[in-house]
Amino acid sequence: MSAQFGKCNFDGKPVDSQELDRARSVLAPYGPDAEGIFCNSNVGIIYRAFYTTHESRLEKQPHVASSGVVTTWDGRLDNRSDLIHELAGELRDDSTDLSLVTAAYERWGTECFAKLAGDWALSVWNPGERSLILAKDPIGTRHLYYSIDKNQITWSTILDPLVLFAGHAFALCEEYIAGWLAFFPATYLTPYAGILSVPPSSFVLLRPGRHTIHKYWDFDPGNRIRHRTDAEYEEHFRDAFGKAVARRLRSDSPILAELSGGMDSSSIVCIADSIIARGAAATTRLDTLSYYNDSEPNWNERPYFTKVEELRGREGCHVDVGKPEPFLLDFDSGRFAATPAYGGPLTESARQFREFITLQGNRVVLSGIGGDEVTGGVPTPALELEDLLARGRFRFLAHQLKIWALQKRKPWFHLLLEAVRGFFPASIVGVPKRRQPAPWLRREFVERNRNALRGYESRLRLFGPLPSFQENLSALDAVRRQLTCSALPSTPTYERRYPFLDRDLLEFLYAIPRYQIVRPGQRRSLMRRALVGIVPDEIRDRKRKAFVSRTPMVAISKDWTSLVEMTQQMISSSLGVTDSKLLTETLQNARHGQEVPIIPLMRALGIEYWLRGVSNQRGFIELGSTVPIFVNCATPTGISAEKNQN
């Protein structure tokens, strides 16, 4: 994952070379392989390369086209052959991704973004039009931030230089904090008022006095895929999933896959092995890394990931996460932590991970994130029943209600109510327990940020796209928000890839009938059927993994004295976010083994320690008398969002 930084002064003033030098030092760890600089009076762009493919080593960035357009690209292009065919004779098969993207932009302009399959972030400076375009792929796997200060635009794939070298302090964004406390903030937000993130599937057009956001592509709700038999659906899934994995095996170095005992990571490893074995992958080796905790009764992964290792005839790296680790995060170490995802002490498990990928030479890590959300990880009948309701298929609805009621051991009327409630606002049917704000949050804070605290959930529309399609996009949006908040690794640097978030795979899964994905008593029905003989039966037939809650409770008890001391003077309480008394009571309950909302609790503690670190960054973060100032960034000033119609 390469890094880029740029600054443009629309008023014509020269870019400060000292600021570019400071930005270079911040970007260097994220792009250790090579550096390119473009500087032309009022525009300066830095590119730091991190090579993961043979073609990327041939790129020279920033790239200046014959037209004068300057392109900086961080990404992996998955549909190279399709673009080469469409561009008809302009490029060769061994052309770099950058040259393909540049040629596509010069041919089609911003319409080319919808044609670029893969994980990417792109900046395009057009001196003739005095315009800057910042764009991201439809899933949003890359970071790309920007800030506007009068006639000055600054952008970067790394948040730090935008904060540290802005020349002024920033207020903190309250909605971002609220999102972190619950289900992650909106994809366009950062913790800082005045710094925004390019949303997925969108491009930002910046001109003097103008700032617009265009959505260039979205999933088609009218797309339908219907096969005659289950076997045809299974074959189609194997093909789509196989291509998704194969695309992410494009690397000229060994790849590391995170291998748990679950279906997602096991499927990726098993499919990848078959692709490598037949010589259809650029990489020649796939390593695995697995975490285990033999002391945790709810998380016994070792028997399952070893089944995959036995199948592939090779043992991976095993990391014991049952050993005592620091629970309290240290954001007061002098190192700037741009977001709550950064900072904290290096744990023993993290140290082992770093040592392993350094030793093995891994530059790419495969992750199973998204698998649960897109392949029916939660065995609920609600989506299927909602579709039948919306389409008026009442006879089949009655049949399915009977079958699901027997499987769930619930009255059919209760299942029907669960399906119907999705079409009504929360003010009528109430908020599900999993969406209710944590009890220790201040009422005024909750009132101001209900949307973020509920995960930006909206009620289903009865008319229009199928309810299951609406729910799929909502689940994907949650994954996008999670990816936007993820920390970028720099010591050592590596690139994460997500096979389950492949655009073509998602289009297939969103276009098939819901009953193919989940059936009564068969969560992940299609995936499990399709991977018979590929993934070990012990994993395919495994019940859903239990959430681990014992370890955090033990850590709370171990660090009890420090936690109590922390709750006496909480910055988040001073800001009107938390009620320290109620938070202390919840910690006390967790210490005694009582059931508490453990994830929101850990989020609240993480935010508090991050705020403590931020409060020491005077000169970078705007402060009141003793604490940071919060502002509402829900509607960025001067932004008009519209769908690109060109």
CATH number for 511: 3.40.50.620
* Residue in 72, 63, 65, 9 with CA at minimum distance from that of residue 41: 9
- Give the per-residue pLDDT at 168: 86
115 & 254 share domain: no
- Give the per-residue pLDDT at 646: 34
- Give the per-residue pLDDT at 325: 63
Q: Provide φ and ψ at 48, rounded to 5°.
A: -115, 120
- Give the per-residue pLDDT at 547: 52
Domain boundary among 501, 521, 540: 540
246 & 123 share domain: no
On whether residue 381 sits in a domain, the answer given is: no
On whether residue 146 sits in a domain, the answer given is: yes
The whole domain housing 524 covers 230-322+363-375+477-540
Tell me the pLDDT tens digit for each residue of 533-563.
999 999 998 876 555 556 677 778 778 888 8
Q: How far apart are CA 33 and CA 27, in angstroms?
A: 11
156 & 258 share domain: no
Tell me the pLDDT tens digit for each residue of 132-170.
999 999 999 999 999 998 889 999 999 999 999 988 888
**Whether pLDDT at 271 is above 90:** yes
Q: How far apart are CA 141 and CA 486, in angstroms?
A: 9
Quote the number of domains for the chain: 2
| Number of C-beta neighbours around residue 284 at 10 A | 13
243 & 212 share domain: no
199 & 252 share domain: no
Residue 346 CB-density burial (10 A; 0-12 exposed, 13-18 middle, 19+ buried): exposed
238 & 304 share domain: yes
On whether residue 296 sits in a domain, the answer given is: yes
Tell me the pLDDT tens digit for each residue of 176-207.
999 999 889 999 999 999 999 999 999 999 99
**Whether pLDDT at 633 is above 70:** no
On whether residue 354 sits in a domain, the answer given is: no
Tell me the pLDDT tens digit for each residue of 354-368.
999 999 999 999 999
248 & 99 share domain: no
On whether residue 390 sits in a domain, the answer given is: no
On whether residue 185 sits in a domain, the answer given is: yes
238 & 209 share domain: no
> What single letter denotes the amino acid at residue 253?
S
188 & 266 share domain: no
253 & 105 share domain: no
Tell me the pLDDT tens digit for each residue of 506-527.
999 999 999 999 999 888 999 9
Query: What's the whole-number mean pLDDT along residues 423-440?
Result: 80
On whether residue 445 sits in a domain, the answer given is: no
Domain boundary among 521, 540, 559: 540
**Whether pLDDT at 641 is above 50:** no
Domain boundary among 540, 557, 576: 540
Which tokens in the block code for residue 238? Answer: 């194997």
**Whether pLDDT at 636 is above 60:** no
Query: What's the whole-number mean pLDDT along residues 621-636?
Result: 54
On whether residue 516 sits in a domain, the answer given is: yes
193 & 295 share domain: no
203 & 259 share domain: no
CA-angle at 482, arms to 340 and 286, nearest 5°: 105
Residue 334 CB-density burial (10 A; 0-12 exposed, 13-18 middle, 19+ buried): exposed
CATH of the domain at 24: 3.60.20.10
**Residue 287 in 3-state DSSP?**
strand
